[in-house]
A = this chain, B = another copy of it.
Amino acid sequence: MVRATTERSKEGYHHGNLRVALLASAREMLETQGVGALKLRAITRQVEVSPMAVAPHFGNLRGLLTALATQGFEELAHAIKTGKARSLKDAGLAYIYFAIRNPGLFTLMFRGDAIDRSDPAFAGAASDSFALLDTWAGTSGKAAGFAPQIAEAVMWGKVHGLAILAIDGLLTPLVQATDPHIDLEQFLEQALDYMNTATSG
């Protein structure tokens, strides 16, 4: 339960910090119970506020989820920029690690039917993240006869695919079958190494 810094003034109207409280509450439910648990009434119940209290801040549920996804893309861009993202592999790793450490949020960020992709703030944050990946892809060796957009799409597709498969648990059988055994993060790191060294993958 997230509250305003000063206990909410007199327990009456005006929460004081409702916007961030709703986002924090929704995010907590998102990671602990999955995207399916993101019901308006469940979120507002946790903040002890009426369902329609979202209206002034987000309009409706879709607006709230869109704001949450926007926040996710901002964090993703930050993760790619900072850390040790000094190479193509590190940029890809940052993308994948963000996904598996925030699985619910990452899923929401790409759920076109749950959010409003035409929202300016969302669209901006999303394309900022994508542009960062494009930058890294552009620094890679370009093969002759291919449009630069191909290299960008491939770079993005590879990390995105691994991230989604990992989140959905579809990689677990493969990871468990490794001998000697390695964990998921090691598996993913080696997968990126493999892509950049092996010719046919």
**Chain A interface residues toward B at CB < 8 A:** 34-36, 88, 110, 112-113, 130, 137, 140-143, 146-147, 149-165, 168-171, 174-175, 177-179, 182, 187, 190-191, 193-201
Expressed in whole angstroms, the Cα–Cα distance for A187 and B153 within the complex equals 9
Q: Measured between alpha carbons, how far is A44 from B169 in the docked complex, in Å? A: 33
Known: A164-B161, A179-B147. A174 touches B199 (CB 8 A): no
**Chain B CB within 10 A, most for which of A147, A171, A177:** A147
Q: Determine how many copies of this chain the complex contains.
A: 2
A154 touches B194 (CB 8 A): yes
Measured CB to CB, the closest approach of chain B to A107, in angstroms, equals 9
Q: Please, which residue of chain B has its CB at the minimum distance from the CB of A162?
A: B157
Determine whether the beta carbon of A146 is less than 8 Å from that of B190. Answer: yes
Q: Shortest Cβ distance from A95 into chain B, in angstroms?
A: 11
Expressed in whole angstroms, the Cα–Cα distance for A195 and B198 within the complex equals 10
